[in-house]
């Protein structure tokens, strides 16, 4: 074998085995969404920044679209050391803590500025530590945006949802939210939603404009309501064992790069909540409905009793702080 062939085969071997340079720390970042979403953009930006700043010391490998783990499995895998970073939706932490359920309460946050105010306040910051007893550390929040309702029939008033099956994330609050309008909620992984909709195994779902666009849900749903009835936000998490085992300077550098990447991801979230909605409207594949004030009030009246159902598990003080963030 000549020198060139030897070098090529050595590179190929490295790619196949994933062997890192001696002493290089590998951060596997697993997520379930597409790369052209706020979280996908954030993860790739984080990798880019680490490549620029910590080459040879830290290597980030990003696995989008559930290539590595589903959100159901990722936190267990993290505790086993099989993955170092993830950013599941706040709706998916119910097995680990109840306090984060506040983020799922329907019609709680007026807009993303209210979410920002709440998260940067005392309660929001305290919640980043709510997973510590389970061996996990919240490194920060990251936005996607407000959720919209979709189905094959128009959803203009709560009764339009009655008796219909909706896919939900694994959250008891979201279950109660759909039961409040007499719909049938089904907890299913994100990776199955398109097929479930396409085959009519379910009637509808709730998600943000960027998720509805990037996973093509709009192509298999005749109607989407611009309901902004709930929030889809994330917590970037790592394991305490991994994080505390890092040298302090390195940890600071990684956190700094992560914070910068989250800012870029949040800017993408803001932009995509408009542009992906427009792409969907322009596609002509579905009808997007705006609610009148009277129609919206009906959804609020039907769903808001869910707040009381979860007040004890979440803590009324936490709910009050979230309400106050609306100003
Ligand atoms: C995500 O945005 O990470 C997935 C949300 C979902 O499961 O609907």
Dihedral sign from CA coordinates of 79, 80, 86, 92: negative
Q: What is the pTM of this model?
A: 0.92
Whole-angstrom distance, CA of residue 221 vs CA of residue 211: 13
Using a 6 Å cutoff on CB, does residue 207 contact ligand 1?
yes
Burial class of 315 by CB neighbour count within 10 A (0 to 12, 13 to 18, 19+): middle
Retrieve residue 129's tokens: 């530590």
Return the pLDDT at 327: 86
Q: How far is the CA of 190 from the centre of ligand 1 (A)?
A: 6
Give me the CATH number covering residue 71.
Answer: 3.40.190.170
Instruction: Compute the distance from residue 252 Cα to the ligand 1 centre, in Å.
Output: 28
- Pocket probe mutation, ligand 1, options 29, 31, 32, max atoms within 8 Å of Cβ: 32
Enumerate the β-bridge partners of residue 186: 167
Q: With 0-12 CB in 10 A as exposed, 13-18 as middle and 19+ as buried, what is 211?
A: buried
Q: What percent of the chain has pLDDT over 90?
A: 93
- Gap from CA of 89 to ligand 1 centroid (Å): 6
Report how far ligand 1's centroid is from the alpha carbon of 63 (Å): 15
- Distance CA(282)–CA(273), nearest Å, equals 14
pLDDT digits (tens, 9 = 90+) for 176-197: 999 999 999 999 999 999 999 9
pLDDT at 158 (0 to 100)? 98
**Domain of residue 103, residue span:** 2-324
CB of residue 217 inside a 6 A radius of ligand 1: no
- List the chain pLDDT tens, one digit each, 327 residues: 444 444 434 443 343 333 457 789 999 999 999 999 999 999 999 999 999 999 999 999 999 999 999 999 999 999 999 999 999 999 999 999 999 999 999 999 999 999 999 999 999 999 999 999 999 999 999 999 999 999 999 999 999 999 999 999 999 999 999 999 999 999 999 999 999 999 999 999 999 999 999 999 999 999 999 999 999 999 999 999 999 999 999 999 999 999 999 999 999 999 999 999 999 999 999 999 999 999 999 999 999 999 999 999 999 999 999 999 998
Contact (CB, 8 A) for 59 and 25: yes
The count of other CB atoms within 10 Å of the CB of residue 19 is: 11
33 ligand 1 Cβ < 6 A: yes
CA quadruple 196, 199, 201, 203: dihedral sign:
positive
Cβ pair 175, 154 in contact under 8 A: no
The reply to whether ligand 1 has any atom less than 6 angstroms from the CB of 86 is no
Domain count, the chain: 1
Q: Identify whether the C-beta of residue 143 lies closer than 8 Å to the C-beta of residue 233.
A: yes
| pLDDT score of 18 | 37
Read off the pLDDT of residues 271-318 as tens digits, 9 standing for 90 and up: 999 999 999 999 999 999 999 999 999 999 999 999 999 999 999 999
Q: Which of these, 17, 26, 25, lies nearest to 62 by C-alpha position? A: 26
CA pair distance 38, 44, nearest whole angstrom: 10
3-class DSSP string for the chain: CCHHHHHHHHHHHHHHHCCCCCCCEEEEEECCCCCCCHHHHHHHHHHHHHHHHCCCCEEEEEECCCCCCCHHHHHHHHHCCCCCEECCEHHHCCCCCCHHHHHHCCCCCCCHHHHHHHHHCHHHHHHCCCCHHHCEEEEEEEEEEEEEEEECCCCCCHHHHCCCEEEECCCHHHHHHHHCCCCEEEECCHHHHHHHHHCCCCCEEEECHHHHHHCCHHHHCCEEEEEEEEEEEEEEEEEHHHHHCCCHHHHHHHHHHHHHHHHHHHHHHHHHHHHHHHHHHHHCCCEEECCCHHHHHHHHHHHCCHHHHHHHHHCHHHHHHHHHCCC
Nearest-atom number in ligand 1 for the CA of 169 is 7
Task: Pick from 141, 169, 171 the residue to mutate for probing ligand 1's pocket: most ligand atoms within 8 Å of its CB.
Answer: 169
Residue 203: count of CB within 10 angstroms of its CB: 21
**Cα separation values, 7 from 11, 41, 156, Å:** 6, 32, 63
Query: What integer pLDDT is reported at residue 20 of this predicted model?
Result: 55
pLDDT at 9: 40
């Amino acid at each position: 074998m000549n020198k060139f062939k030897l070098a090529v085969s050595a590179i190929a071997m490295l790619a196949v085995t994933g062997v890192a340079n001696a002493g290089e720390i590998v951060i596997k970042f697993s997520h379930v969404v597409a790369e052209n979403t706020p979280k996908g953009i954030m993860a790739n930006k984080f990798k880019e920044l680490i490549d620029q700043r910590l080459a040879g010391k830290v290597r980030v490998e990003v696995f989008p679209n559930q290539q590595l783990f589903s959100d159901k499995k990722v936190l267990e895998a993290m505790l086993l050391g099989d993955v170092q970073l993830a950013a599941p939706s706040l709706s998916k932490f119910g097995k680990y803590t109840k306090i984060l359920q506040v983020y799922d309460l329907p019609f709680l946050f007026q807009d993303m500025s209210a979410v920002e105010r709440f998260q940067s306040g005392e309660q929001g910051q305290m919640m980043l530590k709510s997973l510590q007893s389970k061996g996990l550390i919240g490194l920060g929040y990251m936005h996607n945006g407000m959720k919209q309702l979709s189905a094959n029939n128009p959803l203009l008033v709560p009764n339009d949802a009655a008796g219909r099956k909706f896919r939900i994330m694994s959250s008891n609050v979201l279950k109660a939210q759909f039961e409040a309008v007499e719909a049938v909620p089904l907890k299913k992984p994100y990776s199955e939603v398109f097929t479930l909709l396409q085959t009519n195994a379910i009637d509808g779902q709730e998600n943000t404009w960027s998720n509805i666009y990037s996973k093509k849900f709009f192509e298999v749903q005749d109607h989407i309501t611009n309901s902004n009835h709930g929030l889809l936000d994330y917590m970037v998490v790592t394991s305490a064992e991994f994080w505390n085992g890092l040298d302090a300077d390195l940890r600071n550098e990684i956190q700094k790069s992560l914070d910068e990447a989250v800012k870029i991801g949040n800017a993408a979230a803001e932009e995509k909540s408009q542009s992906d909605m427009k792409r969907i409207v322009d596609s002509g594949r579905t009808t997007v409905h705006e609610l009148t004030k009277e129609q919206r009030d009906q959804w609020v009246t039907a769903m808001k009793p869910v707040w009381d159902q979860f007040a004890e598990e979440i803590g009324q003080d936490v709910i009050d702080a979230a309400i106050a963030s609306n100003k």
